[in-house]
A = this chain, B = another copy of it.
Amino acid sequence: MTRARVVRRSGGRKVSRRIPGSPSAASATDAAFERFLTASAARADRVLTRRLADRPDTCRLGEAMRYAVFGGGKRLRPALVYLGCQAFGGDLRAADGAAAAVELVHTYSLVHDDLPCMDDDDLRRGRPTLHVKYDEATAVLAGDALHTEAFATLAALARPEHVGECVRILAEAAGLQGMVGGQVRDLDAEGAKPKAALVEQIHLGKTAALIAGSLELGAVAAGASAAGRRLLRRYGLVVGLAFQVADDVLDVVGDVATLGKTPGKDAASGKMTYPAAVGLEQARAKARALSSQAARLAGRLGGPAEGLLRALPRFVTERTK
* CB proximity of A50 to chain B, nearest CB, Å: 15
Within the assembled complex, what's the spacing in Å between the Cα atoms of A212 and B289? 53
The reply to whether the CB of A280 lies closer than 8 angstroms to some CB of chain B is no
| Interface size, chain A (Cβ < 8 Å) | 50
Return chain B residues, CB-CB under 8 Å to A137: 117-118, 187
Q: Which of A162-179 contact B (CB under 8 A)?
A: 163-165, 167-168, 170-172, 174-177
* CB proximity of A190 to chain B, nearest CB, Å: 10
* Closest residue of B by beta carbon distance from A170: B151
Asked if A167 and B151 sit within 8 Å, CB to CB, the answer is yes
* CB proximity of A187 to chain B, nearest CB, Å: 6
The reply to whether the CB of A102 lies closer than 8 angstroms to some CB of chain B is no
The reply to whether the CB of A185 lies closer than 8 angstroms to some CB of chain B is yes
The reply to whether the CB of A69 lies closer than 8 angstroms to some CB of chain B is no
The reply to whether the CB of A156 lies closer than 8 angstroms to some CB of chain B is yes
Within the assembled complex, what's the spacing in Å between the Cα atoms of A158 and B164? 9
Asked if A171 and B184 sit within 8 Å, CB to CB, the answer is no
Return chain B residues, CB-CB under 8 Å to A109: 144
Asked if A176 and B140 sit within 8 Å, CB to CB, the answer is no
Return chain B residues, CB-CB under 8 Å to A61: 176, 180-181, 184
The reply to whether the CB of A57 lies closer than 8 angstroms to some CB of chain B is yes
Which of B117, B143, B163, B174 interacts with A163 by CB under 8 Å?
B163
The reply to whether the CB of A149 lies closer than 8 angstroms to some CB of chain B is yes
The reply to whether the CB of A154 lies closer than 8 angstroms to some CB of chain B is yes
Return chain B residues, CB-CB under 8 Å to A75: none
Which of B140, B149, B180 interacts with A117 by CB under 8 Å?
B140
Known A-B contacts A117-B135, A118-B140, A180-B141; the reply to A148 vs B175 at CB < 8 A is yes
* CB proximity of A133 to chain B, nearest CB, Å: 15
* CB proximity of A122 to chain B, nearest CB, Å: 16
Which of B59, B170, B180 interacts with A184 by CB under 8 Å?
B59
Asked if B59 and A180 sit within 8 Å, CB to CB, the answer is no
Asked if A167 and B163 sit within 8 Å, CB to CB, the answer is yes
Which of B57, B108, B155 interacts with A176 by CB under 8 Å?
B57
Within the assembled complex, what's the spacing in Å between the Cα atoms of A156 and B164? 8
Return chain B residues, CB-CB under 8 Å to A62: 176
Return chain B residues, CB-CB under 8 Å to A180: 61, 141, 144-145, 148
* CB proximity of A53 to chain B, nearest CB, Å: 13
Asked if B149 and A168 sit within 8 Å, CB to CB, the answer is no
Provide a sorted-by-A list of 19 A–B residue pairs whose CB atoms are within 8 angstroms. A60-B188, A65-B176, A108-B144, A115-B140, A117-B137, A144-B147, A145-B175, A145-B176, A147-B148, A148-B174, A148-B176, A149-B171, A152-B171, A152-B172, A152-B175, A155-B171, A158-B164, A164-B164, A167-B167
- Kindly list the 4 A-B residue pairs having the minimum CB-CB distance in the complex, ordered from nearest: A152-B171, A117-B136, A155-B167, A148-B175
